[in-house]
Amino acid sequence: MSYKKPSFKEKYGNFINGKFVAPVNGEYFVNTSPIDSSVIASYPRSTSEDIDIAVAAANAAKDAWGNTSVTERATLLNKVADIIQENLEEFALIETCDNGKPIRETLNADIPLAVDHWRYFAAAIRAEEGSASELDQNTLSLIIKEPLGVIGQIIPWNFPLLMLSWKLPPALAAGNCVVLKPAEQTPSSATFLLEKIAEVFPPGVLNIVHGFGPEAGKPLASHADIDKVAFTGETTTGQLIMQYASKNLNPVTMELGGKSPNVFFNSVMDEDDAFLDKAIEGAVLFAFNQGEVCTAPSRLLVQEDIYDAFMERVIARTKAIVQQSPYDVNTQVGAQASKDQHEKILSYIEIGKEEGAKVLVGGGSCELDGELGKGFYIQPTILEGHNKMRVFQEEIFGPVLCVTKFKDEAEALEIANDTLYGLGAGVWTRDAHQLYQIPRAIKAGRVWVNCYHAYPAHAPFGGYKKSGFGRENHLMMMNYYRQSKNMLISYDKNKLGFF
């Protein structure tokens, strides 16, 4: 079964103060699909003037919204979840068209997961409690959580609706108003969402402003009238946003890059069973979402005594990947999100070859027929080399796996931790001791043990080292969007006796 490109209006607006509005300067940019380079629609090329209006609307709405009951906020979050659920197929199709990822993935992962994150925070805010401590017989310390106020959020293009659904629900549940800038490569699903939920929140609570990083992202991140910035993206922009925040003494959360190790110990091949089959798939997950995942398991570490036999099966499974039209439900790997990404990935494959890495499979652009020939496809590629090579150290953000071998636990850990990043890691073994000890010794925020690429709500997600800080997808994220108000209450009738 195959879907067709969805239809769009000619142009869309920003969503500010409860309605769609044209950008102040009247300028738009044309968004195209990486599947075939065809035009999707025009979106506002906003500037600081649009950001100012959105931030003002959010500030005007924040007191009333911050004082709504948790029951009311939870009900509205659930309403958003219901609306996405009811339109799941349409959301999936828009996401595939805009990002290039296969429809199989948007139907079964991106959109259902997005729905679940809205529901999770709707539930979390209802179930949560503050705390009270009796410090002595007459003194009570009450901790009450209060919203920060107005949050600026900047999200990437690799999972457009899902990243929006990681960011918005905890901020809104915690009682904040938000100004969010979607990535300019993928503005469509956020716009479609706001068309569907325009009436759900009071005006000003949720604002979406489109545009380019230097023209709209920077004015948002550096705005004096916001109270916090949450960012997912790359390290240099992360550093800049922290600098801007330091001028306002604002808190930030950052989910940045990764170069995640996926470590396979020899016991995975003790049996030729369902678990081994799962482990092989776990290694091939490097190609999931065309490798455009911050946690992509892009460094494969295999114990030397099973290396040949294990890699034979990984290569065979990689060769079996179906890469064709992203609109076809059988397609497993689709188009890279843009031409510049496509070029960057190819340049990394070249530097890998030049550094002496051996191409085990793939190694170039994937040329598809017809209109797809105008899209941006890369063959799933495995490079064999060593951990000091640039391709082992830099995030390629494409379907490119770098594999090396290790002899024992100590060497596995040395290689796994020899990276600037610490976002994700995978550990695969049948040994009960390794199952616990290796994940504890890897310096990364999320270690998948005998699995990979699962992102359920209620499992905290975030980085160590240069991969950032903050923990999303978990109720603890609400605290990154809140103040802790302490009321220190005395029940003592007697004076201190100082004066």
What does the block give as tokens for 281?
A: 């798939």
Tell me the β-bridge partners of 154: 181, 231
Q: Give the interface segment with another protein, choosing from 110-118, 124-132, 256-264, 310-318 (CB under 8 A).
A: 256-264
Q: Which of 36, 227, 384, 395 binds another protein (CB under 8 A)?
A: 395
H-type helices in 249-306, by residue range?
A: 274-284
Q: Give the interface segment with another protein, choosing from 102-110, 263-271, 349-357, 482-490 (CB under 8 A).
A: 349-357
CB of 180 to another protein, least distance (A): 12
Whether 490 and 141 have beta carbons less than 8 Å apart is answered as: no
- Residue 93 or 296: the one with the smaller Cβ distance to another protein is 296
Q: Does position 36 bind another protein by CB under 8 A?
A: no
H-type helices in 249-334, by residue range?
A: 274-284, 307-319
Quick one: angle between helices 188-197 and 88-99, nearest 10? 150
Q: How far apart are CA 462 and CA 453, in angstroms?
A: 13
Q: Which amino acid is at 144?
A: I
- Residue 17 or 158: the one with the smaller Cβ distance to another protein is 158
Active site residue 27: no
Q: Give the interface segment with another protein, choosing from 51-59, 307-315, 358-366, 390-398 (CB under 8 A).
A: 390-398
Q: Which of 79, 317, 339, 430 binds another protein (CB under 8 A)?
A: 339
CA 14 to chain centre: 22
CB of 232 to another protein, least distance (A): 8
- Cβ within 8 Å of residue 26, ≥6 positions away: none
Binding residues for another protein, rule CB under 8 A, total 53
Looking at residue 147, the DSSP 8-state letter turns out to be E
Q: Does position 183 bind another protein by CB under 8 A?
A: yes
Q: Which of 306, 351, 441, 451 binds another protein (CB under 8 A)?
A: 351
Q: Measured between alpha carbons, how far apart are the two ends of the chain, in Å?
A: 83
- Residue 91 or 421: the one with the smaller Cβ distance to another protein is 421
Active site residue 90: no
- Cβ within 8 Å of residue 216, ≥6 positions away: 45, 46, 47, 48, 50, 51, 181, 209, 210
Q: Does position 251 bind another protein by CB under 8 A?
A: no
CB of 376 to another protein, least distance (A): 10
Whether 110 and 161 have beta carbons less than 8 Å apart is answered as: yes
- Burial (Cβ within 10 Å: 0-12, 13-18, ≥19) of residue 448: buried
Q: Choose the catalytic residue: 95, 105, 184, 255.
A: 255
Q: Which of 344, 374, 430, 443 binds another protein (CB under 8 A)?
A: 344
CB of 236 to another protein, least distance (A): 3
Q: Which of residues 125-154 bind another protein (CB under 8 A)?
A: 154
H-type helices in 327-448, by residue range?
A: 339-354, 390-393, 409-417, 432-441
CB of 92 to another protein, least distance (A): 21
CB of 338 to another protein, least distance (A): 5
Q: Does position 370 bind another protein by CB under 8 A?
A: no
Q: Which amino acid is at 494?
A: N
CB of 157 to another protein, least distance (A): 6
Q: Which amino acid is at 108?
A: N
Question: Contact residues for another protein (CB under 8 A)?
Answer: 45, 154-158, 183-185, 212-215, 217-218, 232-237, 239-240, 243, 256-259, 292, 294, 338-341, 343-344, 347-348, 350-351, 354-355, 388, 390, 393-397, 420-421, 466-467
* Residues belonging to the active site: 255, 294
